[in-house]
Structure formats: C-alpha cells, structure tokens
Structure 1
C-alpha cells in the first residue's frame, strides 16, 4: 500500500516524519496520516514526493517499478471529482490496479482517434 511505500522510502533516506513533512511543506500529522493510510495525498503532493525520492507516480500508487504511466493520467485519476469513482481502489489488489491503468490508457488512445 501507499503508506508502506512512503515509510520505506523515508526510512531509506534516514528522515523522520517531521523532517520530510517540512521538506514537502506539510504538517507532520498530515504526512503521518499518509503513512498509516488514513489519508491519501492529492496529485500535487504525490508528485512532490515522487520527485523528492526520484520514483514514479506508478511506483508510489501501485508499487510497480516497471510501469510508467503519464503524469497527466494520474493527475486526472487523482482529481477529487474522479476519485469518487475509485474510492475502493486503495484496497484493490495490484493486478486489478494495473488492469485499470491499461483500460484507462486504452480509452485515452481511443479518444485520440
């Protein structure tokens, strides 16, 4: 899950929650909620985290290090208006998340035609 990946990345860098939250411009409490999966960061915060740790949004969200989806897809996907459709996604198995990503990419390609 996202929280476990965040904690792993932070620990690997030897940072406390307090230190990382200051770097990201968040309160420690807000960041702590991300690590325990009580809250989900918005797109901009996820992007800051991904850039700081030099990982992809795909890795943060799905745990997949090989897949690289366009940031625009994640921006749309994490939009509060769209999130209502995907509220159960956070607890979905990784293979279902990957399937949804492939489906979304198919829709985007289809709409280009």
Structure 2
C-alpha cells in the first residue's frame, strides 16, 4: 500500500474527517486531502508528526510491509484491506452509513455475549 492509502485508513479508523486530522496536526484540510489523493507528500517533520499521532512507525506510513502495527487487523487481513480500498471512493454519506452498520454489528455481537480483545499499545 502507498502512503495516501495508509493515511486514509488510519484517519478513518479514528473516525476523523480530513479537517479534524488537519486540526490535530496543525495542517489545512486541503493538505490532508492532497496527501490522501497522492498529489502531495509530507515533509520529514510532518511525516514524524503523523506517525506520532497514529502511534505507528514512519516505515509503516511509507508502506514498508515488514513494519506493521502490532495486532493490526487491517494490515493482517487482505479482505479488510480490499474493503477499505473499495470504500475509499464512497460518498461521505455512504461512508457514514458503512460506519453506522459496522457499529450496529459490533453492538449486536456484544449483546450476544461475544467479547472483544483490546488492542495493546
């Protein structure tokens, strides 16, 4: 995967808009948009800020397959990678509906007694 795809996935995992992420990193919404479109690349210091914010390595952000998040279900599951890549072209409304559906399924699983493992940081 490329930096732009990885950034989009990480941002969406935290349920942040491009504007929200830009505010947290001290960047314009349009800058985040350009990064995610692959039309612009961050400088070294910004790359470090992004890695620090998402608690990943710069290697991971740059697509080094040997450097993944610990217990990251997206990195470890090709089906999830495909799903996120396909969802990247959804409209904002379709994305919101998809997130709502995932949250619905998660609640349904909790009610049925399924326990979830917490990600260790």
Q: Give the TM-score normalised by the residue count of structure 1.
A: 0.56
The structural deviation recorded for 1:31 is: 1.1
Matched pairs, number: 67
Spell out the pairing of 1:93-112 with structure 2 (5 A cutoff).
Answer: none
Q: Distance in 2 between matches of 1:13 and 1:2?
A: 17
CA distance in 1, matches of 2:30, 2:49: 17
Q: Is the 8 A contact 2:6 2:63 kept in 1?
A: no
Give the match for residue 28 of structure 2.
27
1:3 touches 1:37 (CA, 8 Å); kept in 2?
A: yes
Higher CA-based Rg: 2
Deviations 1:29-77 (A, max 9, x none): 011100010000000001000000000000001242538xxxxxxxxxx
Structure 1 segment 1-113 matched on structure 2, within 5 A: 1-66=2-67
TM-score normalised by structure 2 residue count: 0.53
CA root-mean-square deviation: 1.4
The answer on whether the counterparts of 2:57 and 2:67 sit within 8 Å (CA) in structure 1 is no
Unaligned segments of structure 2, at least 5 residues: 69-121
